[in-house]
Amino acid sequence: MVNKKKGKNNKNKRNSFVEKRTLFYPEDLQEYGKITNLLGDRRINVMLADNTEVLAIIPGKFRKRCWMKVNDIIIVSKREFQEDRWDVCYKYNDDEIRQLAKEKEIPNSFLDNNITSTTDIFIDSEEENQDSVEEENSSDEELWEKL
């Protein structure tokens, strides 16, 4: 059978699906963090919830499996033997960030303009619907008064 796509075989892509992960919350000596700067050599600067910036190390288990970029939300754990160094424990994807924002687990300063919580969108759309209904009712009343 000839491959009609003239490229790599796409069997793996067709049969793959994104599995929903269970939400992971920080434990003792762990905090939420936002990546502010990539330094190279598996080192990153991380802004913690209390607006302090710390140096964190990406462990080897994340190498070439999980790519990190600026503004990603992660969980970092403090090292017991080095007070100024932290280790990355977990990286959240966009759906998990939305869910954490909905549950108000992460501070609003961590959220980007691109990622808004679904509750904000839902509340905004309700307000718009109520405003439009009130405008329609007022215009109907004005028409009946003129008749």
Flag whether the pTM goes above 0.75. no
The predicted model gives 44-60 an average pLDDT of 95
Helix and strand element counts for the chain (H, E): 3, 5
Please give the residue that has the higher pLDDT: either 95 or 5.
95
H/E stretch holding 37: strand 30-40
> Which residues face 104 on adjacent strands?
none
The predicted model gives 25-45 an average pLDDT of 94
| CB 66 within 8 Å of CB 58 | no
pLDDT in tens, 82-119: 888 999 999 999 999 999 999 999 988 888 755 554 44
Query: Is 124's pLDDT higher than 60?
Result: no
pLDDT, residue 131, reads 52
pLDDT, residue 72, reads 94
The predicted model gives 7-27 an average pLDDT of 71
The predicted model gives 29-46 an average pLDDT of 95
